Structures are given as C-alpha cells and as structure tokens.
Amino acid sequence: MNLLTSLAIGILFAAGIYQILRRNVIRAAVGLVLLSNAVNLFLFSAGAYNGQSAAYSTAAAQISDPLPQALVLTAIVISMGGFAFVLSLLYVISTRYKTSDSDEVKGLKN
C-alpha cells in the first residue's frame, strides 16, 4: 500500500508540474491545484504514525497523527485563497494582453 500511495503522490505531482509548464495559463492554474493536492497528501505521509481511528480523545484504537492533519487543514485553506488570487490574475492577463499564452506575456507594462 505504501508503494501505491507514494506512486500516486508522485504521479499527482508530476501531472501538476507538467500542467504548470504549459503555455496555456488556465492549464497552469489547474496544475497549481494538482500540485497543492499532491503536497497535502505528501504532508500526510510525513506523519509520525499510522492510526486506525480518527484523532478523537475518546477513540479506542490507535489514533492517526493529528499534527499533519492540522497543518494540512491550514494548507488547504491558504492554497484556496492563493488559487482564487491566481484566477483573478488569469483574468487580468486575458484582458490586458488579449491572450492566455504565457509566452506572449512579456514585460509588466501595458
């Protein structure tokens, strides 16, 4: 299972990277979300121990590590805020440069 999980994380990450490198900025935004998903999963794998039960103080079995969960929770929120900002940037690019090709976006002036 570990092998499969890490492979899935790797594939998700690779897909994100590949999308980010596309000329189409919309694809790059999609890649960004894929990347943050991959990173969140990766953070989970950095947890200290496995658990059979959710992290509740009333749980009978061994609980899963709560620390990476709390961190990932924060990460999800922040990356969504960042993602929304990136989307508005996409809109700005498309109105200012009349393109969504990142190669055509050169210079920061009008």
Partner 1 sequence: MQDFILALPLLLLGAGTLTALAFSRSGWSASRLGWLLSLFALTSFLLILYAFTLVPSGKALTFTLPWIPSVGLDFSLYLDGLSALFALLITGIGTLVVIYAGQYFGGDASAWRFHAYTLLFMLAMLGLVLAGDLITLFLFWEGTSISSFLLIAYKFKDEAARKGAFKSLFITGGGGIAMLAGFLFVIHLSGGADFKTVLASGGFLRASPLYPVFFALIAFGAFTKSAQFPAHIWLPEAMTAPTPASAFLHSATMVKAGVYLLARLNPALGQTDLWFWTLSIVGLTTMLVGAYLGFKQNDLKPLLAYSTVSQLGVLVALIGQDTEIAFKALVISILAHALYKSALFMSAGIIDHETGTRDLRKLGGLRRQMPLMFGITGIAALSMAGLPPLFGFLAKETLLASATHPSLPPIVDSLFPLATVLAGALILAQAALAVWGVFLGKPADEKHPPHGHDPHFAFWLAPAVPAIISLLIGLTPVEPQFLVEFLADAAKAAYGDKVKISLALWTGINVPLILSIVAVTLGSLLFWQRERIRAWMTDFLPNFTTNALFDGTVSGLDTLSRTATRLQGGRLRVYLRILLLSAIVLVVLFNGIPRQISLPALTWNIEGLNGLRMFSLVMLTVSALVSVFVRRDLYAVIALGITGLGVAMWMALEPSPDVALVQLIVDILSTVILILSLSLIPRKLRDRANELLHSRRGMVRDALLAGLAGLVVAGLAFTALNTRPRESVVSPFYAENAKPLTGAKDIVGAIVVDFRGADTLMEILVFSLAGLGIYTLLHYATRKSSDRTREEPEKRLKPNTPRGVFNLPTSPMLHTLAYIMLPLAFLLGITHMMYGHDQPGDGFTAGVIISLAIAQWYMLFGYYETRRKLAWLNRNNMIAAGLTLAVLNALGGAVFGGGFFSPVDYGRMLRLPLPPGFYLTNSFLFEVSIALSVMGAATLILDNLGHPREEDLEADADLAALEEKQ
Q: According to CB under 8 A, which residues from 32 to 61 bind partner 1?
A: 33-34, 37-38, 40-42, 44-58
d(Cα 16, Cα 29) in Å, to the nearest integer? Answer: 9
d(Cα 71, Cα 75) in Å, to the nearest integer? Answer: 6
With beta carbons less than 8 A apart as the criterion, state whether 66 and 31 touch: no
Q: Does 8 bind partner 1 (CB under 8 A)?
A: yes
* Tokens 């000329």 belong to residue: 23
Q: Does 24 bind partner 1 (CB under 8 A)?
A: yes
CB of 34 to partner 1, least distance (A): 6
Site for partner 1, residues 73 to 102, rule: CB under 8 A: 73-74, 76-78, 80-85, 87-92, 94-96, 98-102
